Amino acid sequence: MKCHVVQGHSAGRCGGNSMIHIPWKERYNIHYKNIDEQHKVLLVILNELVDLINLGASADQVTVIYRKLCQYATLHFSTEERYLRASGYGGLVQEQQEHAWFIEKLVAFDKFYELSDPSLLDETMRFLKNWYVGHIMRLDQDYVECVQSFYRRAKIRGVIFDFSNVIAQVDKNGIADRLSSICGVPSAEIRGRFQAEASLDSDFETGSISPAQFLEQVSFLCGHGFSEAEFIPIFTEIFTAIESTRELIRKLKGRYRLGLIANTNPWHFQHGIQTSEVFPLFDAVTLSFQVKARKPNSILFLDALEKLDLVAEECVYIDGNAEFVAAANGCLLHGIHYRGGRELLRDLKSMKISI
């Protein structure tokens, strides 16, 4: 595909040649995971480079964008190659070779960038534009069928669990009663005050507030200055083990890579999750307060997959919340809605998971 250089007056120092942006077009879409998003980011950086050259930017300014483009292209190529390797794509070597060639060319263009040579600038931008469109429309479109069919073909290599109401039952109802016994405020009123401050739990679980700030706000709502030693046992005694799931985790260990994802806060993690006897069995742990997001945000699923060094199609995700299961399915994991131990075993066996 040809990319054009528009002739005309330019306020910059490019010898009168003004280069136009590459527009994103619907036919560039791969419709697979985050590939389209990454292609769009690459396009934004390319267009930043166009703007700088049109403005007659210095070599140092252009070098910054070259490096930015090189860094993001490397990230994108790594992501793309990981997906292709997992799906068994036969053209992976050709993709890898072109990726390496592009980075080499980019480094060379950066080295020889010369503002006073319009022909060299035109050659640079023509290469970048033609490569971008040609790579997506030629090589990348070739792998679409392979990666999109991988969900049906993938062998399960990882099992990821939610913690709450899958590995342990969670009952927060008694917290207000225990707080009431200390501060003297009726339990119902405490519940009402916490419901009016509905974002408090969310802020704590996303790391938006620290444990000290959380305790300060709880103390204010209860009209009592709780110490950590006084409050933490009240707040964390909410977990009851689900033995059938824990036994399942023990059986799966060694056969599959095991992951844990939890919407949680530092105190529930330290005093309820981390102290669980099955916690050491997990190969990867993703916690909402560490990644600064809560399920159903896809960031948590992507973090777990990266830590497990697996792709979504190779993993089962188990959660007691149907909304979170749907979010996992949207990321191409094989979601299971936990309804009980027997049902879970049946669902896993239907996926040919060895137990």
Query: Are 56 and 13 a contacting pair, CB within 8 Å?
Result: yes
Does position 8 have pLDDT exceeding 60, yes or no?
A: no
pLDDT at 21: 86
pLDDT tens string 154-176? 999 999 999 999 999 999 989 99
pLDDT at 113: 67
Does position 59 have pLDDT exceeding 80, yes or no?
A: no
Q: Average pLDDT of the chain?
A: 90
Does position 145 have pLDDT exceeding 90, yes or no?
A: yes
Query: Are 86 and 150 a contacting pair, CB within 8 Å?
Result: yes
Q: Among candidates 39, 134, 139, which has minimal Cα distance to 97?
A: 139
Q: Among candidates 267, 308, 10, 344, which has minimal Cα distance to 160?
A: 308
pLDDT at 118: 65
Domain 158-168+241-350: homologous superfamily in CATH = HAD superfamily/HAD-like (3.40.50.1000)
| 269 sits in which H/E element | none
pLDDT at 110: 74
Say what the pTM is.
0.85
Does position 270 have pLDDT exceeding 70, yes or no?
A: yes
The stretch 273-301 carries a mean pLDDT of: 98
d(CA 217, CA 204): 11
Fold of 5-152: Four Helix Bundle (Hemerythrin (Met), subunit A) (1.20.120)
Burial 117-131 (b: 16+ CB within 10 A, else e): ebeebbebbeebbeb
User: Same CATH fold, 158-168+241-350 and 5-152?
Assistant: no
Hey, which bits of 106-198 come out as E strands? 158-162, 168-170
- Domain locations in the chain? 5-152, 158-168+241-350, 173-236
- Of residues 115 and 308, the one with the higher pLDDT is 308
Does position 10 have pLDDT exceeding 50, yes or no?
A: no
pLDDT at 214: 97
Does position 12 have pLDDT exceeding 50, yes or no?
A: no
